[in-house]
Amino acid sequence: MYIHFPENKMFDYIEVYGRGAAEVTSIVFDSRKSQKGAAFFCMKGLNQDGEAFIDEALQKGSTVIVSQNGKRMKELSLSYPALTFIEVLNTRTAAAQFSAAFYHNSCRDLFLTGVTGTNGKTTVASYIRSILNVLGLPAGMIGTNGIWSSREKLPFRGSTPTTPEAPDLHRIFSEYAEHGEKAAVMEVSSIALDQKRVEGIQFDVAVHTNLSPEHMEYHKTFENYREAKLKLFKQADKAVVNADDVLGAEILSVFPGRVLTYSLNRDVQADIHAYAITPSETGTSAVIEMNGHAQHVFLPVFGEYNIANILAAVCTALHGGYSLSRVLEAAEKIEPVEGRFQVVWGKEKQKIIIDYAHTPTALDQLLREVKKQNGRRVILMLMGIGIRDFSKMPRMAATAEGRADQIVVSVDHPGDHEPQVIIDQVLSGFRHPEDPSISTALNREEAVRKALSLSSEGDIVLLTSGCINGAQIVKGQSIPHSDEKVIEEYFEQNGCGQQRSI
């Protein structure tokens, strides 16, 4: 795309230095991906500042450099008069604005849903995608489980764990529109909102799942975290709100558009309720009621909290103009969510549950559901996450203590930390860390194998937390990992097979 910046003002800037026009072939924020014709945005991350990599971007062929450092932009323009250097007030805002324009504002051609909340984002987003696809509206999904079209998972390596940076995000929207997708649902994290990755996007629907303390390593205070979450509802036409959550009332008090609320408590005022929730080995039956109309459904999901997640997805589809009867029929056909109460059966009838529960609240909910399956021993794999808030780790241990027959403590995404340091932080939350039922493993693969080795016929093995985009983050590298593959190899090596269920 040939751009004459003074005439075609695609984003807000203070001054253009050097050449006023350039042929732009791509947008990058990682200098290693710079190439001929790239526009390099000097964005500041948690550990690196793009300013430090301008020289590398230039060496690799970038023709446009965008930065908040006006003095340096002016100086570089004297050394490279044939290139374009642009001073902006906020590089992240500029990147979001320019990316949207560069990719022809493709997001406007999609029925776009943003999902935010502490727990359940991935599950709700997956359910929405699945329901819309069954209803005949081709929908893609963007989030922790990767980038999906309406048909399959795409080979796209995310720039961040949950919500991609703006240049990647708008490129995905463009590819969706080009390949015939009519809708997209995406997880919108609090960090993404704070870092302006979705700046300028107007969502058709914003969904709120729940709120509890998380990402304190970034936000520092719960108030900052809460305020970040609320930003999504300032850029949406309609909203879906969990009436059972403390943040729900606040959203309802300030959101000017149409809102649908959901609840698992019939005593709570909401637009749609679910009750008579009855679990089984193959799913959950429930009655869903709206406007006095009650309908019995059987859903291929497990856990009461996932019935709440179903309601969030149902409300989103209702906002899309579909009838309740059609949406509930579609909900009965939803696809299982990778790594979210995903059940794998061992040949010795161990019920292995892979679930992303990575907060005290989510872990508590998971353990409550497992408790309903009386008489079965529980082996719990409990993880400390090295790239997250260390103060959360002892609370995870306190939540788990006394609620499993065996606990294996290990590490997810150690980042730059030594695994033993993370393990010790988790152990500090137990009242009795010396209990022989508590053991440790230095990495996730070793922990999965240990948990399986501690199980016997009929036991439940809970593998909590998990990978981000199919990988573990270790010292800046994404190391591929699959619990399913480890489970399969374990049973093969120990002389018995395993089969996958729902």
Annotated binding site: 31, 117-123, 162-163, 189, 195, 197
**Block residue for tokens 């959101």:** 255
Question: What is the C-alpha to C-alpha distance for residues 93 and 45, in angstroms, rounded to an integer?
Answer: 14
Matching residue, tokens 């459904």: 297
Rounded to whole angstroms, the Cα distance separating 227 from 332 reads 35
DSSP codes of every residue in 195-222: TTTTTT--EEEEEE-------HHHHSSH
63 vs 110: CA distance, rounded Å: 31
Taking alpha carbons only, the member of 277, 354, 341 closest to residue 308 is 277
Secondary structure (3-state) at 437: coil
How many of the other CB atoms lie within 10 Å of CB of 220? Answer: 11
Query: How far is 301 from 322, CA to CA, in rounded Å?
Result: 22
Residues with Cβ within 8 Å of 341's Cβ and at least 6 positions away in sequence, in order, are 301, 302, 303, 306, 353, 354, 355, 366, 369
Residues in CB range of 153: below 8 A, 6 or more apart: 145, 146, 147
| Residue 174 identity | S
Contact between residue 66 and residue 57 where contact means Cβ atoms under 8 Å apart = no
User: Structure tokens of 101?
Assistant: 């324009």
- Pairwise CA distance, residues 146 & 339, whole Å: 12
Q: Give the pair of three-digit tokens for residue 378.
A: 């529980």
Pick left, alpha or beta for residue 163 (phi over 0 → left; psi -120 to 50 → alpha; otherwise beta).
beta
Angle at the Cα of 198 (from 363 to 263), degrees rounded to 5?
A: 40
Asked if 125 and 186 count as a contact pair (C-beta separation under 8 A), the reply is yes
Give me Rg for the CA atoms of the chain.
24
HSE, CB side, 13 Å, CA atoms: give it for residue 40.
29
Q: Which residue positions form the known binding site for ATP? A: 117-123
Q: Which helix (H) or strand (E) holds 308?
A: helix 304-319
Among residues 390, 388, 426, 434, the alpha carbon closest in space to that of 410 is found at 426
A 10 A CB-CB count for 253 gives 7
